[in-house]
Structure 1
Amino acid sequence: MLAVFAVIGFIIGFSKTSIGGVAAIGVAVAALVMPAKESTAAILAVLIVGDLVAIRFFGRHVDWSLLRSLVPAVVPGLVLGTLFLAWVSDEVLRRSIGAMILALVALQLWARWRRDGHEQGRRSRADHPLMAAITGTAAGFTTMTANAAGSVMTLYFAAKGVDKARFVGSFAWFFLGVNLAKVPFSVGLGLMTWADVGRAVIVVPAVVLGGLAGRALLRRLRQEQFEVAVLLGSGLAGLLLVTS
């Protein structure tokens, strides 16, 4: 099991410093080797380690104005996610989140297809306060239920045209706060234990290696390539959750 979590740790570290949606691949792998609800808590500490690694590399690029519009809506999403976890089955949980991610990817692909000559209009819609509220709530819900909010946030940041360094830096700070906020909810549901924390400590080297690999890739990707990779990673994560 530790070997599996080392692989998951590498994937998470890689995603935190490069293509955010790819983290959901690690989530899907964890859900395949243990019950889905338990897996969400089991990798929470690993995700926090990944956030810290990403902050070490890209934290100075954070855009606080971008995050301030999202944070107020996250807490309602966390509460809704906690209630959902209390009664939904593992299978329904995985497939619901996967279907949501695939729908968001399809919407973003449609927006990219239509954006030629309408770039400013696309940006203005993404800047609407209602879009920030919807994204914040969806991020809180999906991160609490399946640690899959990375795909939600990557699609939102991509729609706003956030450059890749600011993207990764803001992403890291946002999820460090959100993941720390999830800890009491997970403990209250009886899902997170000290064993999960110990496992995260053991796989720290794998997370750091993944973070270094992700940073190396990010430096080589052009902005357009980065946006395409984000969509592909999110789509793959959604498919894994729906079919696992």
Structure 2
Amino acid sequence: MLELDFSTLQWILLAVCGMLVGMSKVGVPGVSMLVVPTLALIFGGKASTGILLPMLMMADLFGVGYYHRHAEWKYLWKLLPWAFVGIGIALWVGEVVNDTWFKNIIAILVFLCIGLMLWRDRKKGQNLFPDTWWFSATMGVLGGFATMIGNVAGPIFAIYLLAMHLPKNSFIGTGAWFFLIVNFSKFPLHIFVWKTINLDTLTLDLMLLPAIAFGAFAGIKLVQKISDKLYRTAVIIVTALSAFLLLI
């Protein structure tokens, strides 16, 4: 049973997490990476995934609402079956490790995704991979595993779409549909298998909906005013520090 008697600081952190989740779904890349270790520190590794998932699902609706017509479904059909394989592997791993190891796995995945973000930036504009089944399979399995274990598949999926050379709106629209489908598919697994979602956790998520909505609308304005370089540097540094705390 989840107690809702959080400290003032914890409520502030939860509200900020809700805002960042909302912002991440309307074109502010990478910002939700900070949410993952923050929630893991508050609730524990495995339990935090059940808190975060409904937040992401609500935010996904905002993202699909804005960009649903721009999705490139041929790439989704290539990726989704393999993503579900990755989810199945992560589901098993989550059942056999304790919470300490769960948090360690999340931290390692966060560091991996930060590395992928930095590597992607250095290789921007280069044709890194061909449009082959094995690349779709590899990224799909990795993405599915990362999204089930820690909801951190964003950078992995971004690398796949960048390799396909999608334009901006198609990039956002395809990602929006991918995560909506995957996240809604994970929902019953969290309820019946991991048992990390219940009425108490859903109550907390609904209480954070105004913060998620505010973040979604504020993100559209914010991304126009902050330089991409400054923003990404700040996100990477703070996220790396937060992930490091999970290993302590």
- Same fold per TM (> 0.5)? yes
Residues 175-194 of structure 1: pairs in structure 2 closer than 5 A? 175-188=179-192, 189-194=194-199
Higher helix share: 1
**Does the CA contact (< 8 Å) of 1:17 and 1:54 recur in 2?**
yes
Listed as ranges, the gaps of 5+ residues in structure 1 are none
Task: Report SS of the residue matched to 1:69.
Answer: helix
Contact 2:110 2:243 in 1 (8 A): no
* Runs of at least 5 residues in structure 2 that lack an aligned partner in the other structure: 1-5
In the TM superposition, 1:1-244 aligns within 5 A as: 1=6, 2-106=11-115, 109-110=118-119, 113=122, 119=126, 121-122=127-128, 125=129, 127-188=131-192, 189-218=194-223, 225=228, 233=235, 237=239, 240-244=242-246
Distance 1:69-1:219 versus aligned 2 partners, 3 A rule: farther
Residues 144-203 of structure 1: CA deviation (Å, up to 9, x unaligned)? 111111232223333433333222222111111111111111112221101222222222
What SS does structure 1 have at the residue aligned with 2:165? coil
Q: CA shift at 1:219, angstroms?
A: 5.1
Partner of 1:162, secondary structure, is: coil
Change (3 A) 1:230 1:151: farther
77-86 vs 231-240, which deviates more? 231-240
Task: Give the share of equivalent positions with the same residue, in percent.
Answer: 26
Distance 1:216 1:76, change over 3 A: same
**Using a 3 Å threshold, how does the CA distance of structure 1 residues 184 and 230 change in structure 2: closer, same or farther?**
farther
Letter in 2 for 1:142: A
- Please report how far the alpha carbon of residue 229 of structure 1 lies from its aligned counterpart in structure 2 after TM superposition: 6.0
TM-score scaled by length of structure 1: 0.83
Letter in 1 for 2:196: L
Query: Which digits, 9 at most, give the CA deviation of each residue in 1:24-77, with x for residues without a partner?
Result: 211211111111111100121111001001112222222212211110101111
Question: Are the structure 2 counterparts of residues 34 and 50 from structure 1 closer, same or farther at C-alpha, using a change threshold of 3 Å?
Answer: same
Q: TM-score normalized by structure 2?
A: 0.82
Residue-pair matches, total: 236
Question: Alignment RMSD, CA only?
Answer: 2.8
